[in-house]
Structure 1
Amino acid sequence: MTGVESALKRFRVAAYVVGVFLLLLTLVAMPLKYLAHDETVIAIVGPMHGFLYMVYLVITFQLAVRARWRFLYTLGILLAGTIPFLSFVAERKVTHRVRAAQAAAEAEPITSAV
């Protein structure tokens, strides 16, 4: 497994975990806070999402460096963990992009300097 493949695997896991916790935060914890006046769930899920988002940032940046992404593309993927459902979309797009780049790299003929 190459460095890009292992970074992609870590990114995919992180994107799903951050996405699920963001959905819990916005669809469960926030309504409970404002409708039922119960701040217990938000006190647990909020900091967990914050910590996991920081992990997501590091993992995404590692993948961006290894895959040699442009700055604006990297910034967009980094911000995907802040908008509900967007981390799932970003994960699919990144997976397709990285796998297509790997396939293109494998298809190139290898020339040796003799």
Structure 2
Amino acid sequence: MTDPSVPSVNASTSNPLPSHVHPDRQSRVASALSLFSVMAWITGMFLIALVVRMVCQYVLNMEIPDWAKYIAIVHGWVYIAYVASVMNLGMKALWPFGKIILTALAGVVPFFSFFMESKRRREVQREFALL
């Protein structure tokens, strides 16, 4: 007999199968992961645009068009949505608080949101058998 509290083991990979994950939870995590991925990419793109704008304005002393001031404002609002998507995914995937904070901070370091999105996507796909 096998113990139902212990996940079964796949003989070919010897990784535990996520049989303990309810299909409804798997679906909720999958949709939260999709939202997180989109927000991570949008946040990263606006952060790069903001850095380019600031370098042009303050380092290269270039004249910046009036519309460029809105890049910072939009990035701020997009970052708030990114943090909400991190919290959503973190709560559904039952991440520890430190992992949620580190993932949220990835939205304020240029290019880090792309790295973190890829890392968290692989982790969640592996843990919840999402493909």
Give 1:29-108 correspondences, 5 Å limit. Answer: 29-34=53-58, 35-38=61-64, 40-103=66-129
Indicate the percent of aligned positions where both proteins have the same amino acid. Answer: 31
Name structure 1 gaps, 5 residues minimum: 105-114
TM-score normalised to structure 2 length: 0.74
Given that 1:80 and 1:87 are in contact with CA atoms closer than 8 Å, whether structure 2 keeps it comes out as yes
Kindly indicate whether residue 17 of structure 2 is the aligned counterpart of residue 6 of structure 1.
Answer: no
Aligned length: 103
Structure showing the higher helix proportion among its residues = 1
Query: Runs of at least 4 residues of structure 1 off by over 4 A?
Result: none
Which moves more between the two structures, 12-21 or 95-104?
A: 95-104
User: In angstroms, what is the RMSD of aligned CA positions?
Assistant: 1.7
Name structure 2 gaps, 5 residues minimum: 1-25
TM-score normalised to structure 1 length: 0.84
**Greater gyration radius:** 2
Work out the CA distance in 1 between the residues paired with 2:84 and 2:129: 25
Give the C-alpha shift of residue 42 in structure 1.
4.0
Give the C-alpha shift of residue 81 in structure 1.
0.1
